[in-house]
Chains A and B, each alone.
Chain A
């Protein structure tokens, strides 16, 4: 049921088969021909470029019974044993799993024995960068002067992690990323042999997308073959990679660099709705921006793109500043779609950032289009998913959608740091035409300090007055209830404590001659601490107040 995947099935078996590493294979062939094979090699290079494969081929080539001075024959029993993974004299070590000094000691001990059937005993140490430092050092002597029948081949993707003393004892070969043409050629060979007839565009696309790793390319081809059979067409590739959507890049970039946030967001969501792969979108976008940057900078001959794209670029270029494109390029290349969850969110913020950076004033679109009718419907019958959460419903009715149309009515009231619940009392605080006995509350306000002073020495620590001083003000009288506005939740919660509230209520009735109940609310402080009740006095009056004066004529406050 499980078969060999392409990259295993098509592992090259001769040096000539190894794709795109001629500088390595040719050198090795020469060495084989002259019987000057070194005792230690280091193969390094990116993933999927043929390191392990070349190592195995080399193991065959030196031991091959038929030839032995060039390509392996792949026919003799030693070659076949190596291919089949059963050769006794090829020891492939996974250095990432056997990375300690003990494993190296063990290796050194065994290295002294002669090969059991072949000419050379080959040690392939793969992922060698994961060995520990003591292990590396224990290997040094053996690596420098191994017994004559030993060949070491070290392979790694991260040669920079090896100690220099290791590197200098090996013949080092750097495997290169495989060029697109070479990948393409290899894919064509595979397709022919497998009886697959892909569209030429498909193979070109795969070789471009593989980033120089043949294994990645073969994996992609494999998925396509499995999914879509023998005739692979461009739309299949798009389907598999989730890039079926049309990418309206030109319009997108144009509206973005115009500073039209709404329009570009709309385009982006159009793309998302089509189920596009966002990382692909990002990559295409970057490509396009790069080309655009080149064109704007006047270096259009550097860009290698189809003619029609070029005309669209040229159409776009005159309106656009080099600085803006470059910045957009920078911002979008910094978008890490994986880190920010799967949604288009990261692209959205990047887009807004680009728009904001244009130095233009970004106009807010007409409010009417904010929520469509359909979603308003859902607003009117809001979800009542759980019993515990009725608040959303009530608040929805508090602020009907009609306020949407009017630009910014009360919406700005809570601008100033307000209490968490800017509810009714907050409104009554602002003296208005409410049926509140204004005179009374003014009396309270004026005589409030007396009350505070009277509370001195009360409370458990004798400091109840401190809780009221500069921390609150009477704001309204509702029947027999005195509403006291506190600036901070801390003080409010203290006074709300029944034992303190009781004390305060007692004092209130003493000072004002009538029993009142106290209700506490959070309010916004209207002016800097000391005279909280005189927001609009001039500096002179203010100073006088601080020195102990009292305002006798309320005219000022009433006018206010």
Chain B
């Protein structure tokens, strides 16, 4: 278990972008004195789950005047900076009591939950309310999730659980049913673009592009707005993927081997690339169907147009499936190079007849 990691706090502490509904619900609950003891925030990566959890932690512990969280009182600031003893984040990297927890970095093991349970029984130390944020409820092992059930259902007074989940379907249903579920959906891209322009002084066209690429997930959008290289890297990797269409089998195999090397160091990086690619092909479908305006990669609509003419709808659809399958193979520990080469072999043929 560790304290809040400040790097996860990508938002400025002053506010949360979007999620008006969720904020209103939490604020109203708190004002009416009807906060539940357990919440689960469900939403895609980078959508702002952790930011909202910290917001909640601050608002229950805030000692400032006016509408909490004030963000100026020591409680708020300590929570924001990750030093508050009573606000704790449990995720895959936190320390557990058993050896098993130290080795497996991809799941949250029962040891961590036992440690959490010990903490649950303690009184708040400096704040009003102990807040336990489980970052990645779907990453709890079966044992860990089950052993959380009883505490989650009836914790002692002054304990608040906030679970964050990206993939709700892999969360134990008995866990879900014990929490108040709040869904955080990606922001409408137009609103996000506007926020980026007004709050982060991003140029308008860039803001539009970032907003679309982020898919409405504010976390990524903000890091892209603040750091040019994030967007640049994404554009560059997309360019490479686009070029593959004009490459021959050898070029594609070379790329596959490059990717497989990358995969051994940076699995998420490759997954992101595959997602990026899938998005590209999806854009091709949209362009094909005359819906280019909702495409994500608008900055390359010349290529979109060109490639959508080149492939039949059938071929595009098949290849999207194939990417998905290849991803699936990678998750199942198939030799990455084999999986990726297999993917490349399925690269669609350009259609010959009009």
Q: Which positions in A face B, CB cutoff 8 Å?
A: 1-3, 5, 8, 47-48, 85, 92, 94, 96-97, 99, 126-127, 129-130, 157, 213, 215-216, 219, 222-223, 225-227, 239-240, 242, 261-262, 265-266, 269, 273, 275, 277, 336, 338-343, 345, 348-349, 352-353, 355-356, 362, 364-367, 369-372, 374-375, 378-379, 381-383, 385-386, 388-389, 391-392, 395-396, 398-399, 401, 403-404, 407-408, 411-412, 414-415, 417-422, 488-490, 524
Contact = CB atoms under 8 A, between A and B. Distances in A.
Contact of A336 (B169, B249, B250, B354): B169
B183 interface: yes
Interface in B300-327: 300-303, 305-306, 309-310, 313-314, 316-317, 320-321, 324
B236 interface: yes
Interface stretch (B92-100, B146-154, B260-268): B146-154
Contacts of A261: 285, 288-289, 313
Contacts of A408: 309-310, 354
12 contacts: A1-B33, A2-B37, A5-B36, A94-B149, A97-B110, A239-B21, A273-B188, A277-B183, A349-B320, A355-B313, A389-B239, A415-B310
A423 to B, nearest CB: 10
B254 A392 contact: no
A418 B288 contact: no
A99 B143 contact: yes
A227 B25 contact: yes
Interface string B227-245: 0110110011001000101
Nearest to A220: B181
Contact of B150 (A94, A265, A415): A94
B334 interface: no
B28 interface: yes
B29 A127 contact: no
Interface of B: 21, 24-25, 28-30, 32-37, 43-44, 47, 60, 110, 113-114, 117, 128-129, 143, 146-151, 153-154, 157-160, 167-169, 173-174, 177-181, 183, 185-186, 188, 203, 205-206, 208-210, 215-217, 228-229, 231-232, 235-236, 239, 243, 245-251, 254, 275, 278-279, 282, 285-294, 298-303, 305-306, 309-310, 313-314, 316-317, 320-321, 324, 349-350, 352, 354
A2 B180 CA distance: 13
B350 A412 contact: yes
Nearest to B36: A5
B247 A364 contact: no
A382 B33 contact: no
Contact of A422 (B143, B186, B246): B246
Given A386-B229, A418-B246, A262 B150 contact: no
B43 to A, nearest CB: 7
Nearest to B287: A370
Given A97-B147, A242-B183, A392 B235 contact: yes
Contact of B310 (A222, A349, A411): A411
Contact of B239 (A94, A348, A392): A392
A126 B154 CA distance: 13
Contacts of A277: 183, 185
Contacts of A85: 154
A5 B286 contact: no
A96 B160 contact: no
A378 B169 contact: no
A277 B279 CA distance: 20
A353 B282 CA distance: 13
Q: Which 10 A-B pairs have the closest CB atoms?
A: A417-B248, A386-B232, A96-B146, A97-B147, A415-B350, A94-B150, A342-B44, A96-B147, A262-B289, A365-B290
A3 B320 contact: no
A306 B35 CA distance: 38
A419 B209 CA distance: 30
A349 B289 contact: no
B302 A399 contact: yes
A527 B127 CA distance: 78
Contacts of B289: 261-262, 265, 364-365
